[in-house]
Chain A
Amino acid sequence: MNRMACEPTFRNYIDRNSENVLDPLTEPAIIGEIGRAWRESQPDDPANRHEEGGYILLNPDLSYEIARWPRGGQSRIAPPPPDARNCYNGKVVSATFHTHPNPPVDEAGLEWEQGPSESDRRWHMRRKLRGFVIGRLLIYEIDVNAAIHVLGKREEVLGL
């Protein structure tokens, strides 16, 4: 099943029938997993806050699953690279997500960008992948052309 998930016929089907594929942020299980990643970022702990993230993978039955990335640093995270077909673990990468746990001004007085950074935009543009950035107040989307959109307040989108 995993091998089939990344075959060109499946990719072509997805590309031509995108209206039949649910947006991952309408899936309660995906929202729950992203919410868990947010909590694991420890945003309220100045000494331990860090980035978390992962791939949102599309299964052959058009359901989604999450493949988490290794824990990131305070302001950076390194995704394990998808293959040249934008597949990971033999499955189609539908999108990415990662957290931005640092507040606009932290306890030491340092200012932090809340939205996607330029390196976030470039990474997604290179791969033509959609990404969600989970901030303290808002959730942002980086689209496949690297344009940035605000999806809404984190607490409302994730129910946290």
Chain B
Amino acid sequence: MILLLNPLLEGLEAARRAAADAIHPNDEVTVDDQGIHWVFEFIPRGEMLGGGARVSVAKDDFRILKVVRGQ
């Protein structure tokens, strides 16, 4: 069992679960603090075009607000 104490990390894990079909553990991740929510962007590495996802997560309860898959 992993106990996450850092809210940002908890938000990141929520984002990973929400876009699990579109992302890879090796993806680069960026985060944009939008005040009441974060926007996590998962960017595939390597020679592939497309893929990845942008996930918006509420800070207060880690709700998934939006998932947009890349292509």
CB proximity to B under 8 Å, residues A15-49: none
B51/A75 in contact, CB under 8 A? yes
The reply on A98 being an interface residue by CB < 8 A is yes
B69/A51 in contact, CB under 8 A? no
B49/A120 in contact, CB under 8 A? yes
Interface range on chain A (Cβ under 8 Å from partner): 20 to 34
- State A101–B71 Cα separation when bound (angstroms): 8
- State A121–B24 Cα separation when bound (angstroms): 19
Known contacts A118-B43, A119-B43; A111/B51 CB under 8 A: no
- Give chain B residues whose Cβ lies under 8 Å from the Cβ of A77: 48-50
The reply on B22 being an interface residue by CB < 8 A is yes
B54/A113 in contact, CB under 8 A? yes
- State A139–B43 Cα separation when bound (angstroms): 22
The reply on B11 being an interface residue by CB < 8 A is no
What residue in chain A is nearest B53 (Cβ atoms)? A113
Partner of B71, one of A75, A78, A79, A123: A75
- Give chain A residues whose Cβ lies under 8 Å from the Cβ of B66: 111
CB-CB nearest 9 A-B residue pairs: A117-B70, A75-B71, A76-B50, A76-B51, A118-B43, A100-B71, A111-B68, A119-B44, A113-B70
Which residues of B does A touch, CB under 8 Å?
Answer: 22, 41, 43-44, 47-52, 54, 66-71
Which residues of A does B touch, CB under 8 Å?
Answer: 51, 53, 72, 74-79, 81, 98, 100-102, 110-113, 117-120, 122-123
